[in-house]
Amino acid sequence: MKLLIAANWKMHKTVAETEEYCRSIIVEEKLFGDVDIVICPPFTALFSAAEVLKNSSIKLGAQNIHWAEKGAYTGEISSAMLFELGIEYVIIGHSERRRLMAESDQQIHDKIAAALSYGLKPILCVGESESERNRGTTDHVIEKQLKSALVGIDQAKTSGLVIAYEPIWAIGTGKAATAEDAENAARYIRSKVENLLGSRITGELRVQYGGSVNSENIGSFVELPSVHGALVGGASLEADSFSTLVQAARKAVHN
């Protein structure tokens, strides 16, 4: 399975900064081999990013969507609006949104359904907090998040679904999970998703690891049997260092 490395910029970069980044990253494109790259800028920069990247193989993702197609939802953006821009991926259920915006399991489920109905590929984020981990409830937390997000989703439409295992304690802390923990969680996720959505998904489901990924540690994650990519925050913000990270991932899987 091809690696999928996604850059989650969070609330960073103006349109001008986005254009500059995208122009730099396409110059490096040939160095990425067959690694699939997705850049997720803020909403305001998606249109400009799409213009700069239109002749490249680098894909775009959004960081959130609303579950409705349209309506009285001040400040929200729908799948239909993203689809029109040619956006291919959307991050759903990031822990920052679950925690800071009080996103509920039901809303995350509805966002997954909305994204899939427009052919957008969701990157569903799951992962435990530090206290949940210390209590030994990691698997239980992940199972609950997967169930609430995926039960009732039309199995015929799950093509392109990606799950990002992002332990909350590893995000932005410089304290990445060990390869062993990432593999255990990714393997568990794969088996749970197969149970929920059927074994048809097995061959195409990509599970990413996310949380303090950088060019030094990416190799240890992408060479794991159950991990097929990464969701990268801080280390994706400079085109140069993101390019180095992607090249390191490529090298690790081809060694």
How many residues at the interface with ligand PGA, by CB under 6 A? 13
Q: Is 101 in the site for ligand PGA (CB under 6 A)?
A: no
Is residue 166 part of the annotated active site? The answer reads yes
Residue 144 token pair: 């609950």
Pick the closer one to ligand PGA by CB: 136 or 174. 174
| Contact indicator for 34, 5 with CB cutoff of 8 Å | no
DSSP for 137-165, written as a single string: -HHHHHHHHHHHHHTT--GGG-TT-EEEE
User: Please, how many CA atoms are within 13 Å of residue 67, restricted to the half-sphere of its CB?
Assistant: 14
Q: Is 217 in the site for ligand PGA (CB under 6 A)?
A: no
User: Among 142, 222, 232, 246, which residue interacts with ligand PGA (rule: CB under 6 A)?
Assistant: 232
Bridge partners of 230, per DSSP, are 5, 209
Give which of 173, 94, 194, 177 is closest to 138, Cα–Cα.
177
Q: Is 231 in the site for ligand PGA (CB under 6 A)?
A: yes
Pick the closer one to ligand PGA by CB: 197 or 228. 228
Is residue 94 part of the annotated active site? The answer reads yes
Rounded distance, CA 59 to CA 6, Å? 9
Give which of 69, 152, 72 is closest to 115, Cα–Cα.
69
Pick the closer one to ligand PGA by CB: 193 or 230. 230
Convert residues 149-168 into a mask of x (bound to ligand PGA by CB under 6 A) and - (unbound): -----------------x--
Q: Which of the residues 96, 166, 183, 228 is marked catalytic?
A: 166
Instruction: Report the nearest approach of ligand PGA to the CB of residue 238 (Å).
Output: 13
DSSP for 207-224, written as a single string: EEEESS--TTTHHHHHTS
Pick the closer one to ligand PGA by CB: 113 or 125. 125
Instruction: Please list the active-site residues.
Output: 94, 166
Using CB under 6 A as the criterion, which residues of the chain lie in contact with ligand PGA when the complex forms? Answer: 8, 166, 171-172, 210-213, 231-235
